[in-house]
Amino acid sequence: MNRVAATLVRHRPELLDWAIVVVLSVGTVIGWALDRAHQPAWALPVDLAACLALLWRRSRPLQVLAVVVAVDVVQIVADIPANSLIYVTLIAIYSVAAYASRRWAVAALLGTYASIFGAVLSPAASIDLGIVTGTALMAAAAVLGDNIRTRRAYLAAVEERAARMERERDAQAAIAAAAERTRIAREMHDVIAHSLSVMVAQADGAGYVMDSSPDRARRAIATVAETGRLALSEMHRLLGVLRSTDGEENLTPQPGVEQLDALIARTQSAGLPVTLSVQGTPVLLTPGMSLTVYRIVQEALTNTLKHAGPAATATVQLRYLTQDMEIEVTDNGHPAGVPDTDPMIPDGGGHGLAGMRERTAVYGGSLQAGPLDGAGWRICAQLPLEPAR
C-alpha cells in the first residue's frame, strides 16, 4: 500500500499538494472557530489564502513564500495568533529550498528570517515567538528541502546516465550486428561465387564432351543445375543482409565442417587440448551452413584460448539429430558463478557471441551460452538441418 501511494505521489504530485492544503485549511478553520474571541473576521480568509498558495509551491516557490511571509508579518503586527500558519510557513520554506535555485533559496530564507523576527521584535507585536525555536524550525525545514533537492538531482543524474549507457549499449549492439552481417554477407558472396565458378567449369566441360561422351555431358549439366539451385538458395539467405563492397573479393571457397580437424589441430598446437566427437550420421551440409558450423566452433575455441586460462581443456561435439544439428563447445577454464554475459567481449571489445547469434539466426537456429555448474563455459548452437543435395 505504501509503495502504491509513493508511486501515485511521484507521478501525481499535485494530489499531495491538494492533500496538504486541505489538511491545513481544515486546521485553520478549526483553530479560528475555537479562538474567535481573539481573532478578527478577516483573519480566516487571509490564512486560507496562505494555505491555498501552497498549490503553487513547486512551480513558484519564491512567490508562495513571499505571500506566506506577508501574511505572517501582518498577523504578527496585528497581534493575531498564528494557529496553523506556522506549518504553512515551514512548508513554504521547505519548498523554496527544494525547488528554487540554491542562490535564490539562501536569499529568500534570509529575507524570511529578517521579516518574521523583525516583526516579532517590533513594539506593536506581543506574540511570544521564541527566536531560538523559530530559527531551529526554519533551519530544519531549509536543510530538509536542500537534501531533497540534492537527492532528486542525484537520482536524475543516475537515471540520465543509465539511459545514456543503454543508448550506447544499443548503438554498440547495432554496430556489432551490422559489422557481423557485413562479414556474413561477404562470406556468403564467396560461397555463391565459388558455386558460379563450378557451374561455368561444368558447362564448359559439358560442351567439350557433348559429342564424344553424351553421358558425361548430361552428368555435367545436372551438376550445373544442382549447383545453380544451391546458389539461389544461398542468395535467398542473403536477402536483407547488407554487404560492404570494400576490399578485394576472394573466389576461393570458405572453410566448412570438413576443415574442423585442421582447426582443432591448430588450436591444440596453440596450447589448448581439444577433443572432437561426432554423434549421429553426418550429412552433407550446404556450404553456407557448413561455414556457420565452422565459424561457431572457431569463435568458441578462440574465446577459450583467450579467457579460459593455461590449464583449460575444451570439447567440441557435433550432434546430427533427425531434424536439427547441435554444435556444443565446452571448456573447464571459467570459474563457477560467472554471470551470463558475453565472454567474447574483453573489456568492451570484440563481438564474438553477437556474431554467433547472427550466424545462427540466418538459418533460423538458436544459441545458448553461459557458465557450467562447478566450472567451465558452454556454448550450444542448434541449427535446422538442410542437407545439400
**pLDDT over 70, % of the chain:** 76
Low-confidence ranges of the chain (pLDDT < 70): 1-11, 36-38, 79, 81-84, 120-134, 187-191, 193-195, 197-198, 233-254, 270, 334-351, 386-389
Is 285 part of any domain?
Answer: yes
Residues 43 and 97 in one domain: yes
Residues 40 and 125 in one domain: yes
Is 48 part of any domain?
Answer: yes
Residues 9 and 86 in one domain: yes
Is 156 part of any domain?
Answer: no
Residues 234 and 182 in one domain: yes
Residue 131: what pLDDT? 62
Question: How is residue 192 written as a grid cell?
Answer: 555463391
DSSP string, 192-239: HHHHHHHHHHHHHHHHHSTTT-HHHHHHHHHHHHHHHHHHHHHHHHHT
Is 145 part of any domain?
Answer: no
Is 291 part of any domain?
Answer: yes
Residue 387: what pLDDT? 56
Q: CATH number for the domain including 191?
A: 1.20.5
The whole-angstrom separation of Cα 41 and Cα 311 is 91
DSSP string, 151-186: HHHHHHHHHHHHHHHHHHHHHHHHHHHHHHHHHHHH
Where is 21: in which H helix or E strand? helix 13-34
Among residues 112, 129, 146, which one ends one of the domains? 129
Residue 114: what pLDDT? 77
Residues 277 and 232 in one domain: no
pLDDT digits (tens, 9 = 90+) for 190-199: 667 666 766 7
Is 104 part of any domain?
Answer: yes
Residues 224 and 262 in one domain: no
Residue 215: what pLDDT? 83
Residues 291 and 365 in one domain: yes
Residues 219 and 288 in one domain: no
Residues 13 and 110 in one domain: yes
The whole-angstrom separation of Cα 330 and Cα 270 is 17
Residues 286 and 199 in one domain: no
- Count of other CB atoms within 10 angstroms of residue 152: 12
- Residue 100 belongs to domain spanning: 2-129
Residues 100 and 199 in one domain: no
Residue 38: what pLDDT? 66
Residue 127: what pLDDT? 54
Among residues 186, 203, 238, which one ends one of the domains? 238
Q: CATH number for the domain including 355?
A: 3.30.565.10
Enter the pTM of the model.
0.43
DSSP string, 320-358: E-SSEEEEEEEEEEEETT--SS-TT-GGG---HHHHHHH
Q: Domains in the chain: how many in total? A: 3
Report angle CA 203, 204, 207 to the nearest 5 degrees: 85
Residues 295 and 376 in one domain: yes
